Amino acid sequence: MTTWFSRYRLLANPARAVAAGLALCLTAMVLGGCSKEEKSASVHPDGGTYDLWIRNGTVVDGTGADRYQADVLVRGDSIVFVGQLDGAQVQANRTIDASGRIVAPGFIDAHAHGDPVTQSFNNFLAQGYTTVVLGQDGRTAGLEAYGTPDLAHWRAANADQAPQGDPVTLAQWMKLVEEKGSDVNIVSLSGHGTVRLIAGAGSSPEPTAEQMLAMKEILRADMETGAFGMSMGLEYDPGRYTSTAEQKALGDVVGEYDGVVMSHMRSEDFDKISKAIDELLAIDAHVHVAHLKIVAGRSAEEGKAVLEQMASARATGKKVTGDVYPYMASASNLVFLYPDWAKQRDQYEAAVKNRRAELEAHMISRVEERRGPEAILVTKGKYANMRVSEIAKKLNKPYVKVMIDDLGYAGPAQAHFLMAPEVQNEFIRADHVSISTDGAPGINHPRSAGSTVKVLEEHVGEPPKMSLEQAIHKMSQLPATEVLGLEDRGIIAAGAKADLLVLSMDELRNRATWSEAQLPPEGFDAIVVNGAVAMEKNKSSGGRYGTVIRRR
């Protein structure tokens, strides 16, 4: 079968092509492979004028193969040539001199939040992300902000029989994004929790037979409209009420479409994560562990054990992937410290009134096993940039009373410093694990502005660190093809979409901090989305060149 993949990276230098060997055909093998002649083919521009010419760059193409010198020519939203021009006369509407610079594929964030209809995604774009995956943690992309419809309303809207108004189906929201435009490309997931609510199951421990049929109906409609799979949030309401049997039943629907089930697992605690992964692995579909971490983990061996658990499943033929952000703190709230009988606001308020001593004892136990009150940093509000331990000292009262009486239910936005570098570094540098943000526009966590550059600054180098080629692969082709099954994103090759980065490793610097979490990085000369220069030196062009990507 002849595809653009079977000719991808069409170089004018045969020696370069042969040296790359099988790396040139990593994706092509899935589609039938490429011949020796195709690997060493010399293809020249066809004349005429191109929309964009990136000259004299060092291409790191996303596959993990060695970097090489090449020019990149773009027409419309696609790359049409990658290689050495050998004196060919080329004209372009726009030329970028990439001498001394790295040219890489646009990065893909497998776990992001937000709504491009109402928010700018420039914080993602500025760190090199040209595609983000929304609809995480069990919440269908875009629908949470508009309220959850009942099943009758959803069915009417799905049949185009409902009056115009706020979107109540994923298909309606996708159309709205296309009308408004987006700073980045958007991939969507169907949220299990949202599906549960629409079907009427809510927080029921076991949906009725009718509700299960409705959940499958809604999930199938989302998959038909172009969702790439289903997300779960098993530590949140209503996902935490979900049985393994329910997960497997819905996973079967996702598997029918060759989609992915991405899960915020039941627990990420050091003593529960193995069981949580086993629960995910029981689903008969491609499964993906969201924002891999071990809460209160302490040794590299703990991280290796989790990776081995995933690798063992892959050895049986199961598709298992994950993503990780490169920070040691999560953006969270106090709800994770409450017992199951006090998770919801009304339950919590009743517990404060009637079972306070029991509530306090549980919270103290949870805080101490999660590195103590000094591990909780308040990032917004009256006590912004103070640790809970510091607030307690300032107010001269026990920290548990500060959390209940002064911070209140859930509390203001917080960062919980729960992870150990020894553990997380294993995940950050592991095969089959991509680099994500778990970020959103405007949240007070530096991962939303600095994840990619933090990886390139801190995790690229001599072993045990990664090569630059491997780090870029983990942010481009890996999430594109291995996680999402996208054939034309995440690589630099003739025929691929022109999502491209021009960056300087010498000038690259992550500027986002806990006190100034929105500061964009330095070092990106140009960021190209679907063939259009969307950002230069942190200055937006003002255009919204992203598109909604639907699963075929």
Q: In order of start, what are the domains of the chain with their CATH numbers?
A: 107-327+420-482 (3.20.20.140), 331-417 (no CATH)
**Dist. CA 149–CA 462, nearest whole Å:** 53
Residue 546 is classified by DSSP as B
- What does 477-492 look like in DSSP terms, one character per residue? HIIIIIIS--SSSSS-
Q: Tens of pLDDT along 385-412?
A: 999 999 999 999 999 999 999 999 999 9
Label residue 434 by pLDDT band (50, 70, 90).
Answer: very high
State residue 437's pLDDT score: 98
State residue 37's pLDDT score: 32
Tokens (6 digits) for 154:
């959803």
State residue 30's pLDDT score: 33
pLDDT at residue 6 is higher than 80: no
pLDDT at residue 29 is higher than 70: no
Q: Angle at the Cα of 107 (from 103 to 111), degrees rounded to 5? A: 170
Q: Tens of pLDDT along 305-357?
A: 999 999 999 999 999 999 999 999 998 899 999 999 999 999 999 999 999 99
State residue 5's pLDDT score: 35
State residue 44's pLDDT score: 65
State residue 38's pLDDT score: 33
Mean pLDDT estimate for the chain:
91
Of 143 and 59, more confident: 59
State residue 163's pLDDT score: 79
**Dist. CA 252–CA 155, nearest whole Å:** 22
Min mean pLDDT across 35-39, 141-145, 442-446 is at 35-39
3-state helix/strand/coil string of 510-536: CCCCCCCCCCCCECEEEEEECCEEEEE
Q: Tens of pLDDT along 276-311?
A: 999 999 999 999 999 999 999 999 999 999 999 999
Query: What is the mean predicted confidence (pLDDT) over 122-148?
Result: 94
Q: Tens of pLDDT along 523-552?
A: 999 999 999 999 999 899 999 999 999 998
State residue 48's pLDDT score: 79
State residue 358's pLDDT score: 97
Query: What is the mean predicted confidence (pLDDT) over 170-187?
Result: 97
**Dist. CA 300–CA 279, nearest whole Å:** 23
| Strand ranges for 19-114 from DSSP E | 49-50, 52-59, 68-75, 78-83, 91-92, 95-97, 102-105, 107-109
Q: Tens of pLDDT along 234-275?
A: 999 999 999 999 999 999 999 999 999 999 999 999 999 999
**Dist. CA 421–CA 416, nearest whole Å:** 14
State residue 74's pLDDT score: 98
- What does 261-307 look like in DSSP terms, one character per residue? EEEE-S--BTTTHHHHHHHHHTSSSEEEESS---BT---HHHHHHHH
Query: What is the mean predicted confidence (pLDDT) over 408-434?
Result: 97
Count of Cβ atoms closer than 10 Å to residue 9 Cβ: 29
**Dist. CA 140–CA 269, nearest whole Å:** 26
Short-list 536, 538, 491, 533, CA closest to 510? 538
Q: Tens of pLDDT along 191-235?
A: 999 999 999 999 999 999 999 999 999 999 999 999 999 999 999
Of 93 and 443, more confident: 93
Label residue 515 by pLDDT band (50, 70, 90).
Answer: confident
pLDDT at residue 519 is higher than 60: yes
